[in-house]
Amino acid sequence: MSFFSLDHTFERRSEPLLPRNQFVQRMIAAMGVTIAIVGLSLAIGTAGYHFLGGLSWIDALLNSAMILTGMGPVDPMQSAAGKLFATFYALYSGIAFLSMTAVLLGPIIHRAMHTFHLDAEEVDDSDNGKANRTAKKR
């Protein structure tokens, strides 16, 4: 099974809760994916602002970081190509932000839901056990 295999990314409902050390490894992998998305996004933004917007490399990096974090642009674009790039990069940044949030929160939410389902099954099992014992006494 490869790292990006989707056939068994999270444990199933019938499986036990993942041990804490494996959950930490899962979170480290999620953080790695998020860092890769940030790095790629900053590289795309920096290159676009430099080549299409005519900004210096440091100003291009600043603009791409500010847009990626949702703060807004620092330098106005003067050319039509720069303005078009800034438009599409801003749209892309919104999607990238949502993707990074999902990648980071996915394992946490899954673990909470899996714990909830395990607790619910334990309650169901104990209720069924009581009902069966009561039925046998009658």
Per-residue model confidence as pLDDT tens digits over 8-59: 577 787 788 888 999 999 999 999 999 999 999 999 999 999 999 999 999 9
What pLDDT score does 18 carry?
A: 84
For 9-22, how does the pLDDT look when each residue is reduced to its tens digit (9 = 90+)? 777 877 888 889 99
What CATH code is assigned to 20-104? 1.10.287.70
| CA–CA separation, 82 and 34 (whole Å) | 27
Domain boundary assignment for the chain:
20-104
**Encoded amino acid at 73, one letter:** P
Residues 59-78: what's their mean pLDDT?
95
For 74-122, how does the pLDDT look when each residue is reduced to its tens digit (9 = 90+)? 999 999 999 999 999 999 999 999 999 999 999 999 888 888 876 666 6
